[in-house]
A = this chain, B = another copy of it.
Amino acid sequence: MKKMVKKIAVTGAGGQIAYSLLFRICVGEVFGKETKISLRMLDLPAAEGILAGVAMELEDCAFPLLEEIHFGSNPEELFEGVDCAFLVGAKPRGVGMERSDLLSENGKIFIEMGRALNLAASKDVKVLVVGNPCNTNCLICMENAPAIPRKNFHALMRLDENRARGLLAKKAGVNPSLVKGVVIWGNHSTTQVPDYTHILIGKKSLEEVIDAHWLQEEFTETVQKRGSAVIKARGKSSAASAASASVDAMRALFTPTPSGEWFTSAVLSDDNPYGIEKGLIFGFPCRSRGDGEYEIVPNLPWNYFISEKIAVTQKELLEEREMVRQYL
């Protein structure tokens, strides 16, 4: 049997998240052990030396699935025919930088990514934006790639979902695989809404196992602020866990979602069944048949606590969109 080859692009490929992500992609964690990989690594011209070094290390792993490696700083060239793109590269928030400056700096990057994908990528490409502020970066990218279906753009909320599952598993003293039904609504920021009201631990509802007050107060805040807590402990921002979530997020699109379950992805809010404003990239519960497509899982009720918080995260995303209006 001839193995299929997928063309996979990773931007910010000289950075720390990519340094974890690339090797996990190349062992087959996204598309399985039967799919070969044509890898395309993009970064700024100044990082080409680093990319050369990373390419050497990838060669040095003798990965059976890795058919070829291309790298450089020209997105159109590297995105040629790609089936799947992890957009990790983004401008980090500098000291004293306003949120509007951050959005604006990143806006320029994601216009370029969108235009290059539009020109060069497979029309079926699946795009996962990892670089923050990822929801609005994803929106800009999507709006600048009109030839690609708008449903094909995702922003990474899986890290928040995984964090919530890990935290609840630890609190309940069970394995994370027993924690089901987590949704993270809205923006991948501190306004995100980790929704514990649909979670089952084994066959029990979460509130049978864990104190409701802890859930409303500590759980929500711990998940929202986990990124800063990791930086404080490790002295560096989350890289390997962000990479792991990126693998999980992309694989979820190519794996049938088990019946009655869902995963969180931030996707276009047009036609969403929850009344969220159109034209946002918003964290929703999603399910897939494993063909790369997804649908938003409908009919999850919101209690008062959750719906108030969802209004806040929606407002933030609307404000972010206003700040980048000129890029859309």
Chain A positions within 8 Å of B, measured between CB atoms, are 19-20, 22-24, 27, 29, 49-50, 52-54, 56-64, 66-67, 159, 162-163, 165-167, 169-170, 175-177, 179, 226, 229-230, 232-236, 238-241, 243-245
Q: What separation, in Å, do the CA atoms of A50 and B236 have in the docked complex? A: 9
Beta-carbon contact of A61 and B166 below 8 Å? yes
Whole-angstrom distance between the Cβ of A70 and the nearest chain B Cβ: 14
Output the nearest chain B residue to A178 by Cβ-Cβ distance: B64
Contact B20 A60 (CB under 8 A): no
Q: Is the CB of B175 within 8 A of A57?
A: no
Partner of A233, one of B20, B52, B159, B245: B52
B159 near A57 with CB under 8 A, answer: no
Question: How far does the Cβ of A23 sit from chain B's closest Cβ, in whole Å?
Answer: 5
Residues of B within 8 A of A235 (CB): 49-50, 53
Distance in angstroms between the alpha carbons of A175 and B3 in the assembled complex = 12
Chain B residues, CB < 8 A from A61:
162, 166, 240-241, 244-245
Q: Could you tell me if B23 and A240 are in contact, using CB atoms closer than 8 angstroms?
A: yes
Known: A29-B27, A244-B23. A230 touches B60 (CB 8 A): yes
Which residue of the partner chain B has the closest CB to A19?
B240
Tell whether A56 pairs with B162 under 8 Å between CB atoms, given A20-B23, A240-B19: no
With A24-B24, A233-B50, A235-B53 in contact, do A59 and B170 touch (Cβ < 8 Å)?
Answer: yes
